[in-house]
Structure 1
């Protein structure tokens, strides 16, 4: 295995970020890191200029990286590009240093290398951080975990749907907290694969994890959770709404996006509750 990896840093207008992400993924990137208004960088990490985004793609082969750089330059002439070679070991250590365990209610969620230090009185969930979202330490994930813990305390055996399951952390948490039927869906095959791996590691193989469209998922569910970006939540409102039997929890929403997301679900007959916030991220709670 190569002792180095290649990072291609792309700085460009924020409204071009998604197109560049798709391009880099199709060009063979092993993974992507995005820093923008929707995903602020970790403390100590350089953020983008106002109105811009930073997209960093990781590659193993120089030819692949250079080809990707050329494609981005051709399609996005305003982008500023930097291709660097870095030691493999440094990347691994830096990546691990960003992933921290969290304790939320009855739960401990963390990476494998911190599992031995998990408190004995907590329900332990081990998540291998790879290329899917949801390691527990992001505010939106923590907000959802808190909501699931509170709901399952008073509704043991409830059915749960996790829309955009990512690593599967929310679905796994629901099951470990006493849920009955638990379904997790994601349109990214890599996320579904990783969610299955994490379900196995956490002894929750009975989870229904797949890439099914919501129209193919039999419902409704007592609790529906969706931790995805605001624009996607709005687009999916007509599909998510009918799946809610009693309670809906939404995250991935910044404070300035709250009103628009809330309106989309009011239109589905759902009634807003107080919700919660962590920093600039908000959680929207509804009941039927």
Structure 2
């Protein structure tokens, strides 16, 4: 039996790790590991210490028979972003076939508990306990995108918490749910019904497992239904997907938003904010709120 994953390895300048990781995910990577350090038995790495210099990045794709075709596709995608990352060499890709456990443990050292508003977001292998006024959100992303530590997801979480602090939305739609972290956060903060959709079957499986872990499965409907076929309108719509996908789905995203509802768009490079605003500004009477973190942006519209 052949190994289940094709690993693509490349060197990336530290400033470009987030962008290249997102490119690999967009091209089908089920998991990405960055800045894998050799662990000292007695001295764990400092999770808040910034990485500098070139970083080794590993992207894990479902096993392919022709790895050269995959490399050609990845090189083309990386060439598009190379002008934004001085020092990136899109042609320098290494390929090997790996088993499941070869990567699953590596990235865990970089996913540490963190807080957004009243939420303590904690991976399942950590033990930190929430304070008396905090709500615990446990997450095991498995092979799905979404630990919350990436700027795009964190921006969504911050926008979501702010919206719930004003008036908890009753119905929430999470487009591109990934690990289910945003859908679960909405349920834990008080949403009565949350729909999460994704194009990846594995993402839905992981999201459902995380919903059970957080005991909110009865309020979550996680499925593979295309956005255009999801019925109803929602008080809050979340779309943490790439800028171009947000633009492509602008009409159905707007249609699914209830009167006076909020639309949160993320996965947007700061330089692509004008592209997204060009598509969405005409659909709303009020200007978007712009949130920024690192090179990423989040837009919040009100219906």
TM-score (norm 2): 0.73
Assess, with a 3 A threshold, how the Cα gap between structure 1 residues 130 and 88 changes in structure 2: closer, same or farther. Answer: closer
Assess, with a 3 A threshold, how the Cα gap between structure 1 residues 74 and 239 changes in structure 2: closer, same or farther. Answer: closer
Is the contact made by 2:174 and 2:183 (CA closer than 8 Å) also made in structure 1? Answer: yes
Counterpart position of 2:238: 225
Cα root mean square deviation, aligned: 3.6
Equivalent residues in 2 for 1:60-209, closer than 5 Å: 67-72=65-70, 79-83=91-95, 91-156=103-168, 158-206=170-218, 207-209=220-222
What's the offset of the Cα at 1:100? Answer: 2.0
Distance 1:76 1:134 in 2: 21
Distance 1:77 1:274 in 2: 35
Assess, with a 3 A threshold, how the Cα gap between structure 1 residues 183 and 90 changes in structure 2: closer, same or farther. Answer: closer
Assess, with a 3 A threshold, how the Cα gap between structure 1 residues 97 and 32 changes in structure 2: closer, same or farther. Answer: same
What's the offset of the Cα at 1:266? Answer: 1.8
Counterpart position of 2:9: 9
Aligned residues: 261
Distance 2:26 2:273 in 1: 27
Is the contact made by 2:171 and 2:193 (CA closer than 8 Å) also made in structure 1? Answer: yes
Distance 2:186 2:26 in 1: 35
Assess, with a 3 A threshold, how the Cα gap between structure 1 residues 119 and 91 changes in structure 2: closer, same or farther. Answer: farther
Counterpart position of 1:33: 32
Is the contact made by 1:32 and 1:57 (CA closer than 8 Å) also made in structure 2? Answer: yes
Distance 1:117 1:32 in 2: 27
What's the offset of the Cα at 1:9? Answer: 2.5
TM-score (norm 1): 0.77
> Structure 1 residues 92-101 or 221-230, which shifts more?
92-101
What's the offset of the Cα at 1:203? Answer: 0.2
Counterpart position of 1:38: none
What's the offset of the Cα at 1:269? Answer: 3.3
Counterpart position of 1:266: 281
